[in-house]
Structure 1
């Protein structure tokens, strides 16, 4: 999760950038989240191909699943949008996997908590992974609606990270609150196309195995439920004494 969700989006890498921005501008954070309407992405990201595409899908799927796997679809799309916004801009790595696993080699300081707290050892349901993959692929293809234009940070609504007041609150979707840097227009980041500059191989993702696709989820949902096997009748024993074998 992220503290559960002390995202990533607000880890140590963000603090230097946010502090510098705060020194120049004092952002006003609205009391009520700005609920942005869903709308088509203005510029589809440049398509990834081959191994870069596969790695980007895997890293983005893992982030969506472990950060927002039980959130509504809009919340999952917003998390994907933050990751791609980071990959396009600012002091962040220029690849999806680089963004997601930034700082993961350290026990503290990872941008997305699930990458360094052992969460990857916990297998999520196939339907959760399949739904996350669907959102990830749509995000990379530019097919998701914009949810949090320009946002590059978020956190769970039950924590109050120190960096939040230095940023501009964009929206609250599900259990997460999203922010952008002060001085940025709504679409300054979102309108840029995404171009991969080489997706690193992430050994930690090997524990996930092959990602399920949407068809797997549909097939599983359509399959009739099997009645549980009847438990064998217990052996008779008088006054609670163990029966003879």
Structure 2
């Protein structure tokens, strides 16, 4: 079974197949086995800790991540929303995208329909119309950055698309999972990681 580098389960607390995240590996490629029950000392830092986010920076990162979760996947199951959040966090630590959450979410937002996440550049006004889903998106964002969530089936995926989209980049990808309407991938050239 694939085990992402540096990840240690700290309990489930989420949908089936969800592990708690203790850290994200940096750079392409590498693997390590997670411990069954990590001790508090020596546990890998959370994404927020690795990014050295002060409280105001953490709040901003959580908001950007929640916006992406909500506007990209609010119609999905909680597991599907976690997967979208995981892709964004994976990108932050991949070395190929901006190394902050907001920069990754809104990369190329000025390019109509040519950005990283469609909601950011589709010229549709982003308004929260489903308060319960917004609350859930904020909770997922906080838990993801706090290192509490990780889907082993999604692993270190850095890309996804909805089933009705047929992007040309898929040829260069290794499919990791499909959850709801989204299929999750990682570039083959980046290794198994």
Name the TM-score, length of structure 1 as normaliser. Answer: 0.58
Q: Tell whether 2:175 aligns with 1:173.
A: no
Question: Paired residue for 2:35?
Answer: none
**Counterpart contact for 1:57–1:136, Cα < 8 Å:** yes
Question: Paired residue for 1:70?
Answer: 75
Which of 45, 54, 69 is the equivalent residue of 2:47?
45
Question: Paired residue for 1:139?
Answer: 144
Question: Paired residue for 1:222?
Answer: none
CA distance in 2, matches of 1:37, 1:185: 23
Question: Paired residue for 1:127?
Answer: 132
Question: Paired residue for 1:24?
Answer: none
Larger Rg: 1
Task: Give the direction of change, closer, same or farther, for the CA distance of 1:121–1:185 in structure 2 (3 Å limit).
Answer: closer
Task: Give the direction of change, closer, same or farther, for the CA distance of 1:185–1:42 in structure 2 (3 Å limit).
Answer: farther
Q: Which has the higher strand share?
A: 2
Task: Give the direction of change, closer, same or farther, for the CA distance of 1:183–1:91 in structure 2 (3 Å limit).
Answer: closer
Alignment deviations for residues 21-71 of structure 1 (CA, whole Å, 9 cap, x no partner): xxxxxxxxxxxxxxx943332423243322111110110000000000110
Task: Give the direction of change, closer, same or farther, for the CA distance of 1:117–1:38 in structure 2 (3 Å limit).
Answer: same
Secondary structure in 1 aligned to 2:111? coil
Q: How do 1:111-122 residues align onto structure 2 when only pairs under 5 Å count? A: 111-122=116-127
Higher relative contact order (CA 8 A, sep 6+): 1
Note the aligned Cα RMSD (angstroms): 1.9
Q: Which has the higher helix share?
A: 1
CA distance in 1, matches of 2:54, 2:124: 29
Name the TM-score, length of structure 2 as normaliser. Answer: 0.73
Q: Runs in 1 of length 4+ with deviation above 4 angstroms?
A: 183-186
**Counterpart contact for 2:71–2:126, Cα < 8 Å:** no
Which of 158, 161, 178 is the equivalent residue of 1:155?
161
Secondary structure in 1 aligned to 2:165? coil
